[in-house]
Structure 1
Amino acid sequence: MARPARNSRALSQNFLADRATADRLARLAVPHAGRPALLLEVGAGKGALTERLAPRCRRLRAYEIDRSLVPVLRDRFSTTPHVTVVGGDFLAARPPRTPFSVAGNVPFSRTAAIVDWCLRAPALTDATLLTQLEYARKRTGDYGSWTLVTVRSWPWYEWRLVGRVPRTRFRPVPGVDAGIVRIERRRTPLLAPAAHDSWRRLVELGFSGVGGSLHASLRRAGPGRRVDAAFRAADLDPRALVGEVAPEKWLLLHGALAAQV
């Protein structure tokens, strides 16, 4: 006997119940006149966003993990041949090899894993995700602070908070409002490919945490004079907490340290 589908609470599902919000999210996901060749929707739910995304792309793969919703979705889009409903976990999908976009009202509890999947996909061009507002604000620097994930990916991806959605626009109504995060691969990376490893080492060391101080963390791995000189070149206060250092300052710091080698 097949196991019953997990309920919406267990799956962290909050279905979008507002047409205007679905329209807005679809426009943000496909902001340009040229339609993307392939768009992946994560967490299609009952199809509210799928319906708005379908006219804006040439191919749409709508992923839904809740098996009880898959037949409903397939019936709803049975006359829309360029829409493929995939029953299963988006995170288990193999990323396409050709350029593609991602959009979706993501389960709040799985946001970090979905973002990680997107950042690891070599052919991803952009992702537009409806997440918890706090997550969206933290990742985009809206609080005036920055996270490891954002800084580490910054030379290759731009992060923006492009909208806020009241919690009353969902069913069931979640306990918090939502935010729309837009992650776009840069056409021209801010660092050369050869600098990828040194950048990753710098950022991860900086976030490793010595009293929250970036300066103190970096001094553990190299001569203090080099670190001091790099901070002066980047016009960075040695007392700055790591989360307070904007990505642009990290780039200056990385460049100053590289110039000393």
Structure 2
Amino acid sequence: MAQSFAFGEYSHTQKKAAQRKGGGRTPRDRARRELSQNFLVDRHAVEQVVKAAAPAGLILEPGAGEGVLTTALASTGAHVIGYELDPLLAAKLRARTRDSSGIEIVKGDFTAARPPAKPFAVVGNIPYSITSKIVNWCLAAEHLTSATLLTQLEYARKRSGDFGRWSLVTVLSWPWFTWELLGRIERTSFRPVPSVDSAILRIDRRPDPLGVDERAYRELVELGFAGVGGSLRASLERHYRHVPQALCAAGIAPDTVVAFVHPDQWITLFRTLHR
């Protein structure tokens, strides 16, 4: 585990600025806060992410930062395109990696990029503030094979069902994607040190989708999560027949709270109601 150079929740750079000026943050510290920058500095944590990602072929990296993960991914033989919004960091990283044929640095917003027209994976220590935006981009990318992301621990636990509950995003995407929590990364592995721990969340596209009509499945799940009627059964009976039989077939008790319905049970529920 990396040694901590921070006291409280502000960086070593901020401490020096406070000593010089009696408080406040440097321009770099302000940029880090605005861009939600917490750089991965623990080599063991980097190795964990690379192992979880199993990089091969084309890799897109959102928020390349100082390039620690970028170079580690490229060392496996993958071709890495790193996106960095901070112009200073992008320029420094491009200069440092200009002789690396397996690394390309793009100054810009990853979520504004057009997804490649061939298979690719996403791997990154992503800014907490735009986690959902990056995940949505990945889910919408036609040729994405997987996304291995460092996110807040709570986010990863919610999306992977680690709390024993399932989120709307996970259930909606389940026929096409799997979600898995592959390890916890402590906050002391980053600089500046964030206030919460992180986790490795891996999203994989199923090679064989579960075979449901996307529009009809979405309508069912969104209706169930809306909570209209006071229970899952009451919500669904507003639009579907034979709901008690479908719940029974899926192994869902009539009084089950919607968040505790496993995604696989949603698939069974859908198929039963749409026979």
Answer whether TM exceeds 0.5 for this pair: yes
Q: Which residue is equivalent to 2:238?
A: 220
Aligned to 2:41: 17
Q: Secondary structure at the match of 2:75?
A: helix
Aligned identity (percent) is: 52
- Could you give the per-residue CA deviations for residues 144-170 of structure 1, whole angstroms, max 9, x where no partner exists? 000010000001101000010000110
1:103 to 2:127 alignment: no
1:241 aligns with 2:261: no
- The structure 1 residue matched to 2:97, chosen from 77, 89, 94, is 77
Give the CA deviation at 1:197: 1.6
Aligned residue for 1:208?
226
TM-score (norm 1): 0.91
Q: Distance in 2 between matches of 1:137 and 1:105?
A: 16
Question: In the TM superposition, what are the counterparts of 1:174-189 in structure 2 within 5 Å?
Answer: 174-189=194-209
* SS of residue paired to 1:9: helix
Q: 2: CA distance between counterparts of 1:247 and 1:113?
A: 22
Candidates 183, 187, 192, aligned match of 1:167:
187
- C-alpha displacement of 1:104: 0.2
Structure-1 separation of matches of 2:239 and 2:96: 58
CA distance 1:76–1:211, change in 2 (3 Å)? farther
Q: Which residue of 1 aligns with 2:18?
A: none
- In the TM superposition, what whole-angstrom CA distance separates every residue of 1:13-54 from its partner, at most 9, and x where no partner exists? 110011111111012111xxxx62210001111011111101
Residue aligned with 2:31, SS: coil
1:215 aligns to what SS in structure 2?
A: helix
Indicate yes or no: 2:248 matched with 1:232: yes
Report if the CA contact (8 A) 2:152-2:196 is conserved: yes
SS of match in other structure, 1:7 = helix
- Aligned partners of 2:105, 2:239: CA distance in 1, in Å? 50
The code of the aligned residue for 2:57 comes to A
Q: Relative to structure 1, is the Cα distance of residues 54 and 201 closer, same or farther in structure 2, using a 3 angstrom cutoff?
A: same
Q: 1:251 to 1:180 in 2, by over 3 A?
A: same
Aligned residues of 1:212 and 1:242 also touching (Cα < 8 A): no
How far the C-alpha of 1:74 sits from its partner, in A, is 0.6
- The answer to whether the Cα contact below 8 Å between 1:39 and 1:57 also exists between their aligned partners in 2 is no
CA RMSD in angstroms, aligned pairs only: 1.5
Residue 52 in structure 1 maps to residue 72 in structure 2: yes
2:252 equivalent to 1:252: no
Which secondary structure does the structure 2 equivalent of 1:68 belong to? helix
3-state SS of the aligned residue for 2:64? coil
Give distance in 1, aligned partners of 2:230 and 2:158: 17
Amino acid at match of 1:147: S
CA drift of 1:57 comes to: 3.9
Instruction: Please state if 1:36 is matched with 2:52.
Output: no
- Aligned residue pairs, count: 248
- 1:85 and 1:209, CA in 2 relative to 1: closer, same or farther beyond 3 A? same
Conservation of the 8 A alpha-carbon contact between 1:15 and 1:170: yes
With normalisation by structure 2, the TM-score equals 0.87
